[in-house]
Structure 1
Amino acid sequence: MTDIAIIGGGAAGAAVFGELVQHKRACTIHWIVGASSPGRGVAYSTDDDRHLLNVRADKMGLFLHQPYDFLEHASGELASVSGSDFLPRRLFGDFVQAQVAALIHSARQQGQSVEIHRASAIDITPAGDDRYSIALHDGRRIEVDGAVLALGALPPRALRCVTSEARESGAYKLDPWNLASDARNPRRVVVIGTGLTAVDTLLTVSTRWPNAQMVAVSRHGLLPSVHARDGFDPYPDQQTLNNDLLSTPSIPQIVRKIRRAITEHAGDWRSVVDGLRPINSLLWQGLTTRQRWQFLRHVRWVWEAGRHRVPPASHGAIEQLREEGRLAILAARVLRVEGSAPLRLTIRDRASQLNSILESDLVIQATGLDTACAYTEHPLISRLLENGMVVPDPLQLGIATEIDGQILSRDGRAQPGLYALGSLLRGGLWECTAMPEIRKAAHGVANRLTDTVLPFGVVGGASSR
């Protein structure tokens, strides 16, 4: 019997798992989830209901052809839900777990072979005839005909400016999603970063330590823009703009045309930005490596603030903290973090270029996704780099792949049946981490694996294709 493996226990892994199960082909699906609950993921494991999804409820389905399943689930859990609501991340985690449990039960009832491995994958090696051998940390090996890396973000690494003393002090926190209660009751908490992760971190800090002064610092000091409370009409000339952008050869020209469209549009500027979503990856793929570097250097900060927005409730809570004097936002570069109790941060103000010292009882790194695989301590990715099964993207945005997610080896060869999904594809797709992109990619990967790897025998009834 043909075997296929999914490595990664978060929502991306759940999306691929569900797509494969629904194909109902004769195969064994191995889902390697590690120690986590299948489908939960890091961001959806939060128990803080102030951590909201930044995608509306009616856009958060797990599968491509079932886009409203989450909205239906939420309607059964909450007294009043609208498709335009931004709901708690915890609720989406509950939904994914429920979907996964139902799929596993249904698959086994119909005679499909499904194995859930609560162990971590630590290596993948060729096993001949385009098969792969996956080593698990408990000593077992699984031979498969295809595999999907759906690992999510890599483990966070401390910024290079953080001294070993500061890292070892316990006052420098790398994981903003897992903040244990601190008996020291900090007087000041510094959050490094002002993006979406930082917003959730600040909301947690504000309730956990209600008397703490909070400071958020990033190079530009720019918080995410806010979503509109209600929908808005689409930009009427969006298709013309998109077609024009796809034939525009340089980053400065692309930026100028987008700005001009926003200026000339009589409606909401967010409709122009959201209307670019279908072509964002195409625009990225049309750039040279140097142009991509220019984007990361000069445009990324303002693009992400406008593109990846916060719900109105989160925005309102942050603004209230600022008005109350509990939160300060600084536009500055962090040059050094040292000491132990308290930590001392040397920062350089963006406007004045003057250095100053900021002391803090607790510093939390909330700088978002880390996809620089060349420097990661992730056991599997580190091993795959060593044996040449993966190679870093030139700009350290993930791993090198074909556009369809097929993983390239060190010699540039596409490896049959071996795919990646989610944040590891950022170098080739740029936007690949939101649920709408993940479910579309999961559907595509499942189809490609079905067409090239899985046999045509049907288990338990008619095929769903």
Structure 2
Amino acid sequence: MKNVVIIGGGACGSAALIELLIRSIAKKLEQQISYTLIERNDRVGYGLAFGTEQKSHLLNTQADLMGIYAHEPGHFAVWLRENGGKKRSDVKGGSDEENAYTSRILYGHYVSEELEKTIDKARQHGISVTVIHSEAITIDRLENEQLSVILANGSGVVADEVLLAPGTPKPNSFKRLREYRQYIDFPWPTERLLKRTGKEDHVGILGTSLSAIDTVMTLIDNGHTGKITMFSPDGMLPRVQPDENNNLERGYLTLENLHKLKRQKGHSPTVKELFRLFIKDVESSEGKKLEWKAMNRHARDPLPLLEKDIEVAEKGGDAILNMAYALRYDTADIWSWMDMEQQMMFTKWLGSHWMINRHAMPLHNAKRIAALIREGKLGVIAENEKVEFNDKKRQFRVETSKNGTHYVDRLVNATGSAGKLEEMDNILLENLLIKKYLQSYPLGGAVINPHTMQCISKKGGEHIYGVGHLVNGMLIDVNAMWFNVKTIARLAAEIIFKITGDGRI
């Protein structure tokens, strides 16, 4: 009997257990495999991403891509239709259920419910599933290539295969500010954020991405009346996601053309080549040449841009936004075909503009953000250079190169999750790095075999896998749940094959 241990019971860990159980039931493996899920929180299926109770914290992906089952992307939309659909107050958007944007907590309820149903079904088929509510702190090697997952209470769980799904780590930047009570190092859980901010405080938010938008929504939904200011190096807000994207047919930036380029030129795709093809597709869709330099949003006034983005989103999006959406299924392959040097160049040159288009904010929240800016309740400041605590004023002093110096009563770090493995605030990952069971990828996260999701390191062996944010450097789309579900199908097939020797899915 082989035991598969999944560390982390958020959405990724839950999706992995669900897929493994489905395959185990179908193959009648009750005499060969057992499962253990380790989750430090009381409930499983939620994690930080989908455990927030704020109904204005919306998914930034339509329901029809969010199915928790690997080959049923539309399942969440079906579940939604069967559970109140568009009549629910926590469902937004002007289209049908397939294109709705739901609250994050509603998606957490869905994942938790489907996990519970799948575990019950597996147990009915004689498959052992154990759920342990504790924190895994390290992994030791045993004889016969087995592993022992050590828990916070000192006990161990013997494993033949281990899947690491630690979820979203908080940012490890600005650590020197943690000594001040006025500093909130992570906007989750929201109860902590609300407890540490007064309703009339001037709250500064480090970051302007989706995490920062959710932080604003948390404060406003809970009656905050003070000023809110977001600070970031580029000052760029996410663009606005249409309820339903207009279709864009790519004729240039396709996997076929990129493979032909590799075959004919004898090198991997470069950033310049990719951008040229991107431009051709966008301009072909628009039917005209565009002024690309004029589209640089760095440090520009956000309100006119946001108001225009809302207008564009209400019409189904422009060619750039729809191009980013059309590329969603090919992005991971394109990224894997690029040399690391080119990946780094892309991140530095185009990364921020790609992110605001690829991970846009829901239209419902965009309208609320625009209203707050117009009313003077929300500010967006670019080019912040220095942050320090002023003991005399008992406030944080934020220096910017463009808009001078600003003082805020409370400061929230919403810069996003730590990317580099060494900077993730997780005791298990820290210990696995020390033991060399994990190896850092220069662009972030752990080194893995992207075909099997197995972690690769000098001492890691063949029995540790990673999924989600843990592998954010080698895989570019790990903050998209539908993409994680897709990679989970690969690792589930690999684990089942290793244990049974049967390659049939």
Same-fold call, TM cutoff 0.5: yes
Q: Secondary structure at the match of 2:388?
A: strand
Matched, 1:201 2:215: yes
Number of aligned residues: 447
| Consecutive unaligned residues in structure 2, runs of 5 or more | 87-95, 262-267, 287-317
Matched, 1:230 2:244: yes
Determine the C-alpha separation between the residues in 2 that align with 1:139 and 1:209: 44
One of 447, 451, 456 as aligned partner of 1:400? 447
Relative to structure 1, is the Cα distance of residues 130 and 441 closer, same or farther in structure 2, using a 3 angstrom cutoff? same
One of 66, 79, 82 as aligned partner of 1:76? 82
> Which residue identity is paired with 1:126?
R
Relative to structure 1, is the Cα distance of residues 339 and 464 closer, same or farther in structure 2, using a 3 angstrom cutoff? farther
Deviations 1:44-68 (A, max 9, x none): 1111111110110111100112323
Determine the C-alpha separation between the residues in 1 that align with 2:336 and 2:483: 16
Q: Secondary structure at the match of 1:119?
A: coil
Q: Is the 8 A contact 1:399 1:425 kept in 2?
A: yes
One of 340, 355, 361 as aligned partner of 1:310? 361
Q: Secondary structure at the match of 2:489?
A: helix
Q: Is the 8 A contact 1:417 1:452 kept in 2?
A: no
Q: Counterpart of 1:210?
A: 224
Determine the C-alpha separation between the residues in 1 that align with 2:418 and 2:271: 24
Deviations 1:55-94 (A, max 9, x none): 1011110011232322222223325252111111110001
Looking at both structures, which has the greater relative contact order when contacts are Cα pairs under 8 Å and sequence separation is at least 6?
1
Q: Secondary structure at the match of 2:118?
A: helix
The Cα of 1:182 is off from its aligned counterpart by 4.1
Q: Counterpart of 1:254?
A: 274
Relative to structure 1, is the Cα distance of residues 249 and 442 closer, same or farther in structure 2, using a 3 angstrom cutoff? closer
Percent of paired sites with the same residue: 24
Deviations 1:353-395 (A, max 9, x none): x7x3211111111111213221334110111011111111123
The Cα of 1:181 is off from its aligned counterpart by 2.9
Relative to structure 1, is the Cα distance of residues 177 and 231 closer, same or farther in structure 2, using a 3 angstrom cutoff? same
Map 1:111-122 to 2 at 5 A: 111-122=126-137
Could you state the TM-score of these two structures normalised by the residue count of structure 1? 0.90
Q: Counterpart of 1:460?
A: none
Matched, 1:22 2:37: no
Determine the C-alpha separation between the residues in 2 that align with 1:347 and 1:282: 40
The Cα of 1:430 is off from its aligned counterpart by 1.6
Q: Secondary structure at the match of 1:260?
A: helix
How well do the aligned residues superpose, as a CA RMSD in angstroms? 2.2
Matched, 1:172 2:218: no
The Cα of 1:4 is off from its aligned counterpart by 0.6
| Consecutive unaligned residues in structure 1, runs of 5 or more | 457-462
One of 58, 63, 83 as aligned partner of 2:64? 58
The Cα of 1:292 is off from its aligned counterpart by 2.0
One of 330, 335, 343 as aligned partner of 2:395? 343
Determine the C-alpha separation between the residues in 1 that align with 2:331 and 2:442: 19
Q: Is the 8 A contact 1:406 1:415 kept in 2?
A: no
Q: Counterpart of 2:301?
A: none
Moved more, 70-79 or 186-195: 70-79
Q: Secondary structure at the match of 1:115?
A: strand
Could you state the TM-score of these two structures normalised by the residue count of structure 2? 0.83
Q: Secondary structure at the match of 1:429?
A: coil
Determine the C-alpha separation between the residues in 2 that align with 1:66 and 1:430: 22
The Cα of 1:214 is off from its aligned counterpart by 1.1
One of 145, 155, 165 as aligned partner of 2:160? 145
The Cα of 1:12 is off from its aligned counterpart by 0.2
Q: Secondary structure at the match of 2:243?
A: coil
Q: Is the 8 A contact 1:32 1:119 kept in 2?
A: yes
One of 137, 141, 146 as aligned partner of 1:131? 146
> Which residue identity is paired with 1:95?
Y
The Cα of 1:136 is off from its aligned counterpart by 1.0
The Cα of 1:209 is off from its aligned counterpart by 4.2
